[in-house]
Amino acid sequence: MAGSKIAPIVGRLLVIGFEGTEMTAGLRNLLARAQPAGVILFARNVVRAEQTCELLRECRATLGRPCLTCVDMEGGRVDRFRQALGPAPSAAEVFATGNRKLFRRHGRVIGDCCRALGFNVDLAPVVDLDAPASRPVMRSRVVSADPARTVLYAREFLAGLRQSGVAGALKHFPGLGEANLDTHHELARVSKPWKKLWAEDLAPYRALGREAAMVLISHAAYPEVTAENAPASLSRRWIGQILRQKIGYRGLVLSDDLEMGAVLKVAPTERAAVEFIRAGGDLCLICHKEEAILRSLEALIGEAERDRRFMERVKQSAARVSVFLGKTKSRRPAGRLTSPKVEKLSRQLWEFGEQVRLEAIRGQDSA
């Protein structure tokens, strides 16, 4: 079925991860078979800056067209470049300075590193609210319990990314602030009424929808809204009705990793991929296993060939992804990555971290 005429169209609905730090015959074959919209790298793939740049260059060459080259790069606990370039401060550390210029600088410094290494998408910033329920899990990834203050930081961070030529993504819609379980392992349930979700957790998406290229959907369930325990990532009400229609979001909608424990409690990866697209999503994020990627591709093709309405849904998302990929032509990597350039990036990260640290000390002294 992978030889189907619609396989290249369906492939545009996938962003895939893989093991290893270099191009292999197996990875080249996977990219050729799946023809995904793009790839995502994690710390396991990033050893040195030059190695990462070359790996992404070979991924682009194998696909032979513009593609998404994605990374989760927030700083702090979620820092994929730590080994290659040095540590970056967390969102909470930067926010604690109270300096809006540093909020934007955070996005710009991270964006410059992304673009130099060959990434054109950073799956950041996190706009979940800082609440007691999720604090043991989210910790320094969130900045405030106040939606307005969360928007203030995220707006500046996104602007910094854009200045570097990197697209950002708001996450994790509709919000994990009240989730008391880690969705990497368990299906979290957020028992919060609709009016409070709309006023609080959804406020960043309402405020920043025109400024974010992507929104990433969580695997938490919101039974007060949907009257069911299915995760938001598989919910037509959350994606198609609330995010698309009520909020009016027009960018790309990306799932959280469809191999995470939370969604696997409900459906295997391939079924989750079908239901995510059916619900109104655009890009299925599948980050680890080749067999899960290929099973999802086959399931999406099979459903599209069987169900005309699903085929239309596929075409709609594939067209939206194609338009975005066309724009990535202007986001090419920032030239050849030389040792002096790597040293400069590492220095910028260190200097920014020191600036954040000193600003935080000044704030404590003045208090």
Task: Tell me the pLDDT tens digit for each residue of 217-256.
Answer: 999 999 999 988 899 999 999 999 999 999 999 999 999 9
Q: Please list, in sequence order, all residues whose beta carbon lies within 8 angstroms of the beta carbon of residue 234, skipping any fewer than 6 positions away.
A: 263, 266, 267, 272, 275, 276, 279
State the DSSP code for 103. H
Its pTM stands at 0.95
Low-confidence ranges of the chain (pLDDT < 70): 1-3, 329-335, 363-367
Per-residue pLDDT, 364: 67
DSSP 112-153: HHHHHHT--EE---B-----TTTHHHHGGG---SSHHHHHHH
Determine what percent of the chain falls in helix, strand and coil, rounding each to the nearest 5: 55, 10, 35
Which pLDDT tens digit goes with each residue over 302-328? 999 999 999 999 999 999 999 999 887
* Residue bearing tokens 């800082």: 130
- What the block records as the tokens of 311 is 């085929």
Per-residue pLDDT, 7: 87
Q: How far apart are CA 199 and CA 130, in angstroms?
A: 15
Q: Give the phi and the psi of residue 216 in degrees, each rounded to 5.
A: -100, 130
User: Which residues are marked as active site?
Assistant: 184, 256
Its CATH class, for the domain covering 13-361, is alpha beta
Cα distances from 47 to residues 53, 132, 362, in angstroms, run: 11, 35, 35
Q: How far apart are CA 133 and CA 63, in angstroms?
A: 43
For the chain, the farthest-separated pair of C-alpha atoms sits apart, in whole angstroms, at: 66
Residue 261 in contact with residue 183, Cβ under 8 Å? yes
